[in-house]
């Protein structure tokens, strides 16, 4: 109503009426129940679209699809999945759950409804190694199904037959997950293991027709990945040594004691030399080692048909003999003879390795490796294979033993006594001001080593520098308890975050060995040495 007034007069008019209706957005209602969907696809199949269509009395409906891989505990939005329907991808294996949230919008008013979840399983996914490795790393700190496998090998390294504990394998019951794997970083035999097989049918008797003398066995450990695929990492190639059998009513088991292939070199299984073995002066050291591996075992088979892995660190390097002659570091500086009465193939190989001051032994792939000790001075160049922290589930604790009685900051290597040139020697001393154990702080702590086969001053000084690094550290022997991990290897690094110390410092430790149960359950124990305090060596005059 509008009123106009002029003086004593006024006039009034009424407008027409307007009708206003206020509508609040109502929650959408889904046309289909997704919980009724439980479907399995093979990898690469074209999936049927999930239908999340919803209706409401008024307004506009928007959609967002979500995915869960932990049975619905955690949901993640799927980028770009904003339609009423969604077709799940079939490239990633495993079981996933899908749901959609529908939102009805009317002006500034909105209401949402969450659908039930559909279950979609993708099987038979074939992953490349990188994808499997990524899944392994993401799964190793969580509960998983452990796999263990034995490959019984032909003389040429091919697989004769396989036993594993995967329940999908018809003979999985034959592999009893007990025993353990032990690894120690040393020159010579590094790996031993024990496994137990159910032997009710006598298939694994230790005789020439079944599990014969000299049988090579490769041990694998791994897990079932979230994709459902098997993932294995080789843990070594072994020979069977002194097996034993248990026979009781309703029980027949064979326990295989496994020793790595060094046992065929050191006389444990293969025996000693049949005569004196000679490596002439100025022979190539790597060729001499290869020639030992190529020897005939008497049955037409080589001592080791697997190709060795030789470092190229020494290639092109030279050393100076006492008479001033420069020779390749890869050549023998003297004629070496190994007595056939007591000598073994291992004695020859160890002597060749001694000439280089290297590390030698069989690795997890069953190959003889010769690595330099000289470049082992800087552990910063080694890969860190795992970062432990009290904040992650893989770390179960660590025990530290400080061995201040074993600290030496002055190392003397007394080398080979050569009648024509006298005594070779090398000396390395810790004067590094950054080191807490340098001579100026704690005084001179000297340790001498007699090292036959070290025939030049260069090699004596290299060994002295190497040992000074190990023995000038304020020694910490570290025993780390952790969940089972299958990629950790000796002579590599792990770190521990010390949340108990100011600033949460990161400690670096060199793996010197480990023990791990073959069984599904049980902790792994790493033996390691702290590498926090690495002094810079000063070469000084040897006595």
Residue 17, pLDDT > 70, answer yes
Indicate whether 116 and 141 sit together in one domain.
Answer: no
Residue 460, pLDDT > 70, answer yes
Write the DSSP string, 33-89: -GGG-EEEEETTPPPPPEE--EE-SSSEEEEEEEEESSTTSS-EEPTT--SSEE---
Say what the pLDDT of residue 52 is: 96
Indicate whether 315 and 384 sit together in one domain.
Answer: no
Helix or strand or coil: residue 322? coil
Could you give phi then psi for residue 414, rounded to 5 degrees?
Answer: -95, 115
Query: Residue 330: is it exposed, middle or buried by C-beta count within 10 angstroms (0-12/13-18/19+)?
Result: buried
15 in any annotated domain: no
Residue 470, pLDDT > 90, answer no
CB crowding 504-527: b at 16 or more within 10 Å, else e: eeebbbbbbbbbbbbeeebebbbb
Residue 378, pLDDT > 70, answer no
Among 310, 343, 370, where does a domain finish?
370
Report the residue count for the chain: 543
Residue 534 banded pLDDT, cuts 50, 70, 90: low
Q: What 8-state DSSP symbol labels residue 188?
A: B
17 in any annotated domain: no
Say what the pLDDT of residue 350 is: 93
Q: Could you tell me which residues come within 8 angstroms of residue 341 by beta carbon, excluding any fewer than 6 positions away?
A: 272
Residue 501 banded pLDDT, cuts 50, 70, 90: confident
Q: What 8-state DSSP symbol labels residue 100?
A: E
Residue 208 banded pLDDT, cuts 50, 70, 90: very low
249 in any annotated domain: no
Say what the pLDDT of residue 275 is: 87
Indicate whether 514 and 387 sit together in one domain.
Answer: yes
Of residues 303 and 454, more confidence is placed in: 303
Q: Is the pTM value of this prediction over 0.75?
A: no
Other CB atoms within 10 Å distance of the CB of residue 191: 25
Residue 475, pLDDT > 70, answer no
Write the pLDDT tens digit of every residue in 285-328: 999 999 999 988 887 888 898 999 999 888 888 877 666 778 89
Among 77, 92, 123, where does a domain finish?
123
Percent of the chain with pLDDT over 90: 42
Indicate whether 220 and 345 sit together in one domain.
Answer: no
Selection from 278, 378, 279, 276 nearest residue 330 by Cα: 279
Among 123, 146, 176, where does a domain finish?
123
271 in any annotated domain: no
Mean pLDDT computed over 39-64: 91
Indicate whether 403 and 521 sit together in one domain.
Answer: yes
Q: How many domains does the chain have?
A: 4
Selection from 432, 471, 430 nearest residue 449 by Cα: 471
Say what the pLDDT of residue 377 is: 47
43 in any annotated domain: yes
Indicate whether 405 and 511 sit together in one domain.
Answer: yes
Residues 408 and 443: beta-carbon distance below 8 Å: no
Of residues 432 and 532, more confidence is placed in: 432
Write the pLDDT tens digit of every residue in 138-184: 898 888 989 998 888 887 778 888 888 877 666 666 777 688 999 99
Arithmetic mean of pLDDT over the chain: 86
Helix or strand or coil: residue 467? helix
Helix or strand or coil: residue 484? coil
Residue-range definition of the domain harbouring residue 176: 129-244
Say what the pLDDT of residue 101 is: 96
228 in any annotated domain: yes
Q: How far is CA 511 from the centre of its chain?
A: 12
Give dist(CA 518, CA 304) in Å, integer. Answer: 26
Say what the pLDDT of residue 201 is: 66
Residue 261 banded pLDDT, cuts 50, 70, 90: very high
């Amino acid at each position: 109503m509008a009123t106009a007034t002029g003086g004593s007069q006024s006039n009034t008019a009424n407008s027409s009426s307007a009708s206003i209706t206020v509508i609040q957005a109502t929650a959408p209602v889904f046309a289909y129940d997704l919980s009724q969907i439980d479907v399995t696809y093979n990898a690469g199949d074209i999936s049927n679209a999930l239908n999340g269509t919803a209706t409401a009395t008024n307004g506009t409906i928007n959609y967002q699809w979500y995915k869960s891989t932990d049975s619905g505990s955690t949901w993640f939005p799927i980028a770009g999945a904003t339609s009423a329907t969604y077709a799940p991808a079939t490239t990633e294996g495993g079981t996933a759950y899908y749901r959609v949230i529908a939102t009805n919008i009317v002006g500034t008013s909105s209401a949402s409804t969450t659908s039930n979840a559909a279950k979609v399983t993708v099987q038979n996914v074939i992953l490349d190694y990188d994808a499997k490795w990524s899944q392994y790393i993401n799964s190793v700190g969580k509960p998983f199904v452990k796999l263990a496998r034995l490959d019984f090998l032909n003389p040429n390294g091919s697989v004769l037959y396989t036993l594993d504990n995967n329940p999908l394998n018809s003979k999985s019951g034959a592999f009893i997950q007990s025993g353990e794997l032990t690894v120690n970083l040393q020159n010579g035999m590094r790996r031993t293991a024990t496994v137990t097989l159910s032997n009710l049918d006598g298939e694994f008797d230790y005789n020439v027709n079944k599990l014969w003398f000299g049988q090579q066995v490769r041990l694998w450990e791994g897990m079932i990945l979230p994709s459902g695929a098997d993932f294995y990492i080789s843990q070594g190639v072994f020979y069977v040594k002194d097996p034993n059998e248990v026979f009781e009513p309703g029980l027949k088991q064979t326990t295989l004691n496994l020793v790595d292939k060094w046992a065929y070199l050191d006389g444990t299984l293969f025996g000693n030399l049949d005569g004196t073995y000679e490596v002439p002066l100025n022979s190539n050291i790597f060729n001499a080692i290869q020639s030992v591996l190529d020897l005939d075992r008497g049955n037409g088979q080589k001592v080791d048909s697997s190709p060795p892995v030789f470092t190229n660190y020494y290639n092109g390097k030279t050393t100076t003999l006492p008479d001033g002659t420069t020779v390749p570091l890869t050549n023998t500086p003297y004629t070496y003879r190994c007595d056939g009465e007591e000598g073994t193939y291992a004695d020859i190989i160890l002597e060749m390795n001694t000439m280089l001051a290297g590390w030698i032994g069989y690795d997890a792939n069953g190959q003889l490796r010769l690595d330099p000790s000289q470049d082992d001075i800087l552990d910063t160049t080694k890969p860190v294979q795992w970062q432990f922290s009290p904040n992650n589930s893989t770390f179960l604790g660590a025990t530290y033993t400080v061995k201040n009685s074993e600290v030496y900051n002055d190392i003397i290597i007394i080398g080979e006594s050569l009648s024509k040139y006298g005594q070779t020697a090398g000396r390395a001393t810790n004067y590094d001001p950054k080191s807490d154990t340098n001579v100026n702080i704690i005084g001179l702590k000297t340790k001498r080593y007699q090292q036959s086969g070290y025939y030049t001053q260069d090699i004596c000084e290299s060994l002295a520098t190497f040992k000074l690094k190990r023995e000038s550290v304020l020694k910490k022997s570290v025993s780390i308890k952790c969940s089972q991990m299958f990629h950790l290897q000796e002579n590599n690094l792990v770190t521990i975050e010390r949340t108990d110390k100011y600033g949460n410092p990161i400690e670096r430790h060199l793996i010197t060995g480990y023990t791990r149960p073959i069984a599904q359950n049980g902790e792994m124990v790493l033996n390691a040495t702290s590498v926090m305090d690495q002094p810079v060596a000063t070469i000084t005059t040897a006595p």
